[in-house]
Structure formats: C-alpha cells, structure tokens
Amino acid sequence: MIRRSMLKGLGTVAILSLGALATPALAADTTIRVASVTGPSHHHNVSLRWFADRVNAKGVGLNIEVLDGAQLGGERDYIEGMMLGSIQMAQVSTAPVSGFIPEFDLFSLPYLIRDTDHFKNVVAGPVGAKYGELAEARGLKILAWFDNGYRNVFNKVRPVVTPEDMDGLKIRVMESPLMVNTLNAMGGSATPMSYSELYTALEQGVLDGGENAAGNVLNDKFYEVSGYFSMTQHFRPPGIVAISMGTWNGLSEEQQAVLTEEAAALQDYEIQLTAEVGAAAVEELKAKGMEINEADVAAFRERMGPVYEDFIAKHGAETLEMVQNTQ
C-alpha cells in the first residue's frame, strides 16, 4: 500500500516535471533605458516617466527607466548608439537626426508647421509614415513624435520686432547648416555652438542671444543673462522617441503591442503638455523680468525663399509639398 502510494506520488512528480519542460519558463523582466539630455523637471522627462509608469504597470515583463540629464551623452551619441545597438531607446530632436538621415532636415525648415493641429496631422499621416520607414532603414523605430513648440529669439541687447532689429546680433543656433542659413536670412549673425556652452557665452558677452522655446529658456535660466524674448516663431522642429531596432526585435509581440499602444498615448500627452508648459513659461519669464514682445512674423517669413530653395535643391519638393498640403 505504501509502495503503491509512493509510486503514485513519483508518477505525479514525473507528470509535473514533464509539464514544466513542455511549458517555456517565463522570461525575466526586460529593462529598457530611455536616454534624454534634458533635466528631470523638463516636461519631456515628465512625459517619459508618465509613459514608463504606464508600460511598467501592464505586467508584460517590461521595465522602462528614464535616464535624464545627459547621463549617456548627447543626442548624437544616442542616435548613433541606437543605430549600433549600444543605446536601447532615446528621446532626441529631429535636427541632429538629420546628421545621420539627411531627409530629416525637412523638420528644421523655418515657418513649416502652421499650428498644433497641423503638426498632429503631419506626423500622423503619410509624412510621418515615410519618415518612420527612413528611420527603420537606419536602425531606429520611431515610437512617438514630440512637439517642442515654437522656437523664438532671445537676446540681451534689444527687442526683435523686424528683421532689421537682428542686424549685428550674434545668435547661437544648433550645429545645423539649415538653421545657420535661417538665422542669417532673418538678419542676424548665426553662431553654431553646443547648447551647454550658451549660458557662459551670454554671460561673458561672446554672444548676444540664442533661440529656443520659452520652456527651455525658463528651465535653463537664460533670463538671468538676457532680457528680451521675441516671438519670432521661426522654428518648430519636433522630437522623436525612438527605440533601437535591435532592442525592438528582441521583444515579444505582446511587449511590442504594449509599447506601441502606450507610445501613442505618450504622443498625445506630450503634445498637450507642451502647449500648457509653453504658455505658462512665457508668463513666468515675464515675472522673471524678461521683456516679451510680438514680432513681425510675416516679414521674417518673406526672407526664407533662399532657405527653401537650398532645401529643394538637395532633397526635392515632394515631401515638402506633402507637409504644406496637409490640412
């Protein structure tokens, strides 16, 4: 009787063991680190942490961690790293992406995006799909588009209302030939420089100003070294949240579906947050002592013909016209 019970027990163990072998073991949680150059309080990182919490809560074995404050280097490092597979995921501006995928210069064209609805429809339509394919061909999968809001000129010399007011002003721009050409066409003297060097350059009088969205001017305290913020609204280059194709291909279909779904929610969340942050930042800059003024946007826009002609000569007009014709 005892022997029969023992054999029965052993048989049960054997069956359970066979069952365990037949069922794949659950994979350990996959941690994906998202690199970002901005500080922890920046609304991009607020958005990314919101996204991370939602993905982590889905219980599909994904753990998203946000590494902000340029812990993993600069945006060019992130882009190259994702292409090589050494960086898993990152939030970057489209301007440095153009250094690796020249067609992304499109998004740096001045006065290209008319308003927030236009931006949403451009990235959600055929243009967004085309640029998603271009990115994947180079090892990046775009999960979400970020709206950075309008970039405006700020400086320590005078208010900028017309192109004539830009005369003689040395203005920092990103290291992008298209952006250099734009600020020069606006009437200023464009000076490419690392963003991290701008505050000191203004403080020491090496430069007269820069150009950026109101939230960034506030976040990085440029109101301490410049007194005028002029609403030139010349650039509205978006950002992207991208994942290395190597990392993406290593995920299960369920994990990919969760990332896709939550990234769509992230895109909507960030676009709304950008609008709120931008409006609040302008008011706070006023409170910090900056003089805010409207600019003659039409006068600046009229000067952009050579910038567009140069872009068309390099890349053709097809995609540009797709953006312009998006309702």
Superfamily, domain 30-149+237-280: Bacterial extracellular solute-binding protein, family 7 (3.40.190.170)
**pLDDT (tens digit per residue) in 193-237:** 888 899 999 999 999 999 999 988 998 899 999 999 999 999 999
From 17-26, 38-47, 281-290, the region with the lowest mean pLDDT: 17-26
- Output the six-digit token pair for 60: 């599909």
pLDDT of 7 above 60: no
The tokens describing 308, both together, are: 């567009």
Tell me, yes or no, if the two domains 30-149+237-280 and 151-236+281-324 fold the same way.
yes
What confidence tens digit (pLDDT) does each residue in 254-275 have? Answer: 999 999 999 999 999 999 999 9
Higher pLDDT, 174 or 116: 116
Those residues with Cβ within 8 angstroms of residue 146's Cβ, 6 or more apart along the chain or in another chain: 44, 47, 91, 238, 239, 240, 241, 267, 270, 271, 274
Domain boundaries, the chain: 30-149+237-280, 151-236+281-324
- Mean pLDDT for the stretch of residues 180-200: 93
Percent share of the chain, pLDDT over 90: 83
Quick one: pLDDT band at residue 9, thresholds 50, 70, 90? very low
Residue linked to tokens 């961690």: 65
| Fold observed for domain 151-236+281-324 | D-Maltodextrin-Binding Protein; domain 2 (3.40.190)
pLDDT at 102 over 90: yes
Per-residue pLDDT of 53-101, as tens digits, reads 999 999 999 999 999 999 999 999 999 999 999 999 999 999 889 999 9
